[in-house]
Structure 1
Amino acid sequence: MSFNIALSGIAAAQKDLDTTANNIANVNTTGFKESRAEFADVYATSIFASGRTKVGDGVTTSVVAQQFSQGSLQFTNNSLDMAITGEGFFALTPDIQSRDLTYTRAGAFKLNKDNFIVDNNGNFLQGFAVDPLDGDNQSVSLSTAAPITIPTTAGAPRATNNIYINMNLDSRNVPTDALPFDATDDATYNDSTSITVYDSLGESHTATMYFRRTTTTPPANSEWETFVVWDNVTAAPFQGDNLEFDSSGNLVGVAPTLVMPFAVLNNPLNGYLKNGAQFQADVVVNFRDAAGTSRPTQVAGDFAPTSLSQDGTTVGSLTGVDIDAFGRVLASYSNGDSAYLAQVALVRFANVQGLKQVGNTSWKQTITSGEPIGGQANTNTFGAINASALEQSNVNLTTELVDLISAQRNFQANSRALEVNSTLQQTVLQIR
């Protein structure tokens, strides 16, 4: 009996050594969770035996339980690296159409050749669909999750429809309307500024806005004429409504506009468009900011546009990807566009220690783990996502080395018990 007890002790000590050695081997593995060998005594007796004199039958390994404590963060220069602080796992699938989900805490992600976010083994990171403008998710059900892709372009170009300009016109300027307006003669206008606009094919053009003060007799309000020249085309400039200012330098009436009719711009005889592009609407210069909260002024100060923008874009290339604490993926493009692409899906389980290890710091659900519950990072009980960071192994090397010594002593003690048992048996066999 003691022989078997000592053998069970050796087996348990070996399991402890194996578990500790595996922890030490993975001390630098991203997202790794340490394990702990848990043991139970073996005791068996019949209903007719005396329990008072029964000795235990040794030890058995009850379970090798993983410890899902938080690992420390290591910050990187890769914006696609992600670490979870708190509860949750990333969800992965082996291919685009698969629903065979695995779960991991290792957030070393990158783009594959098709611009999908994948891990080191090519598994696809799952995410929820979101509104491109504000990033609000449409569903947090895992059944709606899909692989996250990062488009490298901002899509089709968008022709300019509105230009917004807000500025101060210098009240010290003298009228220049004695001469006909000529964009090539700065004596015929007071101030000018330019903005890049786009046609329907995404080609850029320059719209230059000119302002010149007209002759007025006090106490009449001051007035300024407005003109726009398109790409220095020699045809007659576009002329808009006059800007009228009172004695306090405030704009009188509603904010005026200057309209460039699309029929004129599209006419090939006028020379505005030479690439086959076609505007579907007039291009309107609005003398106010885009929000409509600020309007031009005329005070004794230098000409200074305080806001200048337009709503067209050309085709843009990807310039950056940002991921916030909620897991929302925001792509920025060279044409100034930005769009939310997806929200990284997080998953939690009722019993994380019930998950089954499948290697590569990944797990799968089991009956004892419970069903996976999808959710949004940084809400409810889900942890936050840290971009440009990786969660390191939660192995404490000092503790593991102490455990290694303890397991070694345990192994030696059980080996000694086995040796003593063998000696006693040998002594019995030599009795004559």
Structure 2
Amino acid sequence: MSFNIALSGVNAAQKDLDVTANNIANVNTLGFKESRAEFADVYANSIFANAKTQTGSGVQTAAVSQQFHQGALQFTNNSLDMAINGSGFFVMANEMDTLDRTFTRAGAFRLNDEGYVTNSQGHFLQTYKANEDGTPAGLGINSTQALKIPDKAGQPQATEEARTGINLPTKADAIDRAGIAFDATDSATYTSSTSMTIYDSMGDTHTLTQYFTKTGPNPNVTPPITDNQWEMRVAVDGVMKSDSSTPPENSLTLEFDNSGSLTAPLPTEFETEALGFTNGSDPNQQIMIKVPSATLNSGAFEVTESTQDGTTVGRLTKVDVGPDGLVQATYSNGSTENLGIVAMARFPNEQGLTQIGDTQWRESLLSGDVVTGQPNTGVFGKVSVAALEQSNTDLTSELVDLITAQRNFQANSRALEVNSTLQQTILQIR
């Protein structure tokens, strides 16, 4: 009997050594969670046994429990590196077309050759689809999808509308149209100008220029020109553009009252004639020119708004991940796109998760059902970008445990040796 008791002690000490050695071996493994060997005594008894004289039957391994406390964060220069500061797991999928999900705390991610975000084993990081306002479209575990970062944004969008807000200087000198003809190449024939970039249907850029000319006062014409009248002209790539509804010389007359407010035309807008591009884009493209705000005062010429709705193809310039897990890509055409929200998962009993290697876990009966959510909401931790969670192994404590396990092993080995000596003595009795 004593042989078995001592042997169980040796096995328990060996298990403790194995667990401690595994913790030490993974001290530099990202997202690793240390384990702890837990033991229980073995006690055999029955209703007819004398409890006062009963001895134990040794020791057994009750459990090897994982410890999910937070590991230290190491900051990096990779914007795809992520660490969870708080509770929760990243959701992963081994393949694109599977609903089987695994879970990890290791956030060393990278792009594969197809633009998907994966870990070092090629498993795909899962995200929720993001709405335009940055909220998740759904939070179910089966609604997650692999995160892909496109290297370009959308298709070219031809400019259909250009908006310019202006303030015109009342102290500017008037230009007599009877004696001076407008010439876009001669700044003496207009008062001020402003330009913006527009796009054709192929995504090529062009320059739209608006010219503003103070024409009043001039009482010698019919009808007389007041002091508060201006002309606006539009040119694209230096060529004047208007439609048949605009006055002669491709101009639109702006009239202001004595307080500097625009009185006519309201609304201030007109559509250009066909732009006639010859680079293979749509030659019939027209642009609606709108002046949503125009004022006249003693200040300087000022542009208060300058926007247009066209875009060209954008190239990826930056990827940002917020504390709430929102992944947003910025492109060279100035556009931004919400690519997804990093999926987060937790379990009622984390210690019940099944280890499957590669610092990943799988749901089990003991862990309970997975609960999904968005980072930095409720009990879920926030995402720290350009950071990695280190192993939570305390090397000093593990080395002390290693010494303790070694002493236990030696002590139980000594008990075996003593038992062997006693047996040998009995066998030598004659």
Do they fold alike, i.e. is TM over 0.5? yes
Query: How does 1:245-324 map onto structure 2 within 5 Å?
Result: 245-252=256-263, 254=266, 256-261=268-273, 264-265=274-275, 272-278=276-282, 282-288=286-292, 295-324=293-322
CA change 1:139–1:235 in 2 (3 A) is closer
Cα distance in 1 for residues equivalent to 2:149 and 2:279: 30
The answer for the alignment partner of 2:73 in structure 1 is 73
Q: Structure 1 residue 140 and structure 2 residue 139: aligned? A: yes
- Among 223, 234, 238, the residue aligned to 2:229: 223
Q: Structure 1 residue 242 and structure 2 residue 242: aligned? A: no
Q: Which is further off, 225-234 or 348-357? A: 225-234
| Kept after mapping to 2: 8 A contact 1:162/1:284 | yes
CA change 1:331–1:279 in 2 (3 A) is farther
The alpha carbon displacement at 1:54 in A equals 0.9
CA change 1:204–1:53 in 2 (3 A) is same
CA change 1:35–1:224 in 2 (3 A) is same
**Which runs of 5 or more structure 1 residues have no equivalent in the other structure?**
266-271, 289-294
The alpha carbon displacement at 1:185 in A equals 1.0
Give the secondary structure class of the aligned counterpart of 2:10. helix
Query: How does 1:1-400 map onto structure 2 within 5 Å?
Result: 1-131=1-131, 133-178=132-177, 179-216=180-217, 220=226, 222-233=228-239, 239=250, 241-252=252-263, 254=266, 256-261=268-273, 264-265=274-275, 272-278=276-282, 282-288=286-292, 295-400=293-398
Aligned length: 417
Q: Which is further off, 230-239 or 38-47? A: 230-239
Give the secondary structure class of the aligned counterpart of 1:317. strand
The alpha carbon displacement at 1:324 in A equals 1.0
The alpha carbon displacement at 1:240 in A equals 5.2
Q: Which is further off, 175-184 or 328-337? A: 175-184
Give the secondary structure class of the aligned counterpart of 2:63. strand
Cα distance in 2 for residues equivalent to 1:319 and 1:285: 31
Task: Using structure 1 for the length normalisation, give the TM-score.
Answer: 0.91
The answer for the alignment partner of 1:291 in structure 2 is none
* Cα distance per residue 1:77-118 (max 9 Å; x no partner): 211111112221111111110122111111111111111111
CA change 1:235–1:52 in 2 (3 A) is closer
* Cα distance per residue 1:280-317 (max 9 Å; x no partner): 774122223xxxxxx33333333232332211100111
Q: Which is further off, 299-308 or 135-144? A: 299-308
CA change 1:177–1:109 in 2 (3 A) is farther
Cα distance in 2 for residues equivalent to 1:381 and 1:236: 60
Cα distance in 1 for residues equivalent to 2:107 and 2:31: 7
CA change 1:150–1:279 in 2 (3 A) is farther
| Kept after mapping to 2: 8 A contact 1:240/1:258 | no
Q: Structure 1 residue 402 and structure 2 residue 400: aligned? A: yes
| Kept after mapping to 1: 8 A contact 2:111/2:117 | yes
CA change 1:6–1:274 in 2 (3 A) is same
The alpha carbon displacement at 1:279 in A equals 7.0
* Cα distance per residue 1:114-157 (max 9 Å; x no partner): 111111100111111122x2122111111221111111111111
Cα distance in 1 for residues equivalent to 2:317 and 2:325: 19
Cα distance in 2 for residues equivalent to 1:243 and 1:430: 125
Task: Using structure 2 for the length normalisation, give the TM-score.
Answer: 0.91
Cα distance in 2 for residues equivalent to 1:20 and 1:297: 77
Cα distance in 1 for residues equivalent to 2:48 and 2:256: 111
| Kept after mapping to 1: 8 A contact 2:277/2:283 | no
CA RMSD of the aligned region, Å? 2.1
The alpha carbon displacement at 1:172 in A equals 2.3
Give the residue type in structure 1 aligned to 2:304. Answer: T
Give the residue type in structure 2 aligned to 1:333. Answer: Y
The alpha carbon displacement at 1:235 in A equals 7.0
Give the residue type in structure 1 aligned to 2:391. Answer: S
Cα distance in 1 for residues equivalent to 2:242 and 2:376: 59
Give the secondary structure class of the aligned counterpart of 1:168. strand
Q: Which is further off, 302-311 or 181-190? A: 302-311
Cα distance in 2 for residues equivalent to 1:382 and 1:6: 46
| Kept after mapping to 1: 8 A contact 2:130/2:338 | yes
The alpha carbon displacement at 1:160 in A equals 0.8
| Kept after mapping to 2: 8 A contact 1:154/1:318 | yes
CA change 1:273–1:361 in 2 (3 A) is same
Q: Which is further off, 42-51 or 56-65? A: 42-51
| Kept after mapping to 1: 8 A contact 2:67/2:351 | yes
